Amino acid sequence: MTIGFCVRKRRRAVSAALAEEFSKLPVANASDCMSRMFAGGSRLRPIHDPDGVLAGPALTVRARPGDNLMLHHALDIAEPGDVIVVDAGGDLTTATMGEIMVGIAQRNKVAGIIIYGAIRDAEEINRMKFPVYAAGVTHRGPYKDGPGEINTAIAIEGMVIEPGDLIIADGDGVLSIPYDEVETVLAATKKKFAAEQEEIARIAARTDDRSWVLNTLNARGCEFE
């Protein structure tokens, strides 16, 4: 196949059942359970008003900045529940998509779209209540010439995304969980979430232990007047 201009088959993808489990858990908890070493970067922000956690298998797209030909094809071949993740180079001068393409995604039951680049029609997309994350907004429309790739490995801010990996996103940002690690991360995330809920309950009951703060300051050699 031609490197840089090809459509590959996705060989595997996380199950809908596992995606559903992650949709009940904060992205920050999963991030903590991955040693806080992976993230889609602070530039990726929700264009919609987040209501829960977006979760689904990645359908990856590598696009030439400002061109959406490959994204159009990805919309046509996406399976229900997929999260389309587009590496558009982080370019913000030209939009990769707008409300028309969101309408197609909704019709095809795509779970959400993540654009490492810009979108347009931001207000309309927000009203459509469809999960869209992007690095920016511009009114300048896209081209449709290619080249690009579908279902190859991409990277966003150093976070590598393989086709079929689990994508989760909420108001805190975007995280990719490798296919082979999803169940391990799920178990750890559930444990982390339960521990945080217990801590929140202790705070409300005024039974939380804050001694660790002063102990840490003393251990680190902080001086007090």
Annotated binding site: 98-101, 120-121
Specify whether the CB–CB gap between 163 and 11 falls below 8 A. yes
β-pairing verdict for 173-177 and 166-170? antiparallel
Q: Which two tokens stand for residue 185?
A: 């991360």
Residues marked as binding for Mg(2+)? Answer: 121
* Cα(218)–Cα(213) distance, integer angstroms: 9
The amino acid at residue 24 is K
Residues in the chain: 225
Specify whether the CB–CB gap between 71 and 61 falls below 8 A. yes
Q: Any bridge partners for residue 155, and if so which?
A: 160
* Cα(74)–Cα(167) distance, integer angstroms: 16
What 3-state DSSP class applies to 108? coil
Residues marked as binding for substrate? Answer: 98-101, 120
Specify whether the CB–CB gap between 55 and 30 falls below 8 A. no
* Cα(52)–Cα(56) distance, integer angstroms: 13
* Cα(43)–Cα(65) distance, integer angstroms: 16
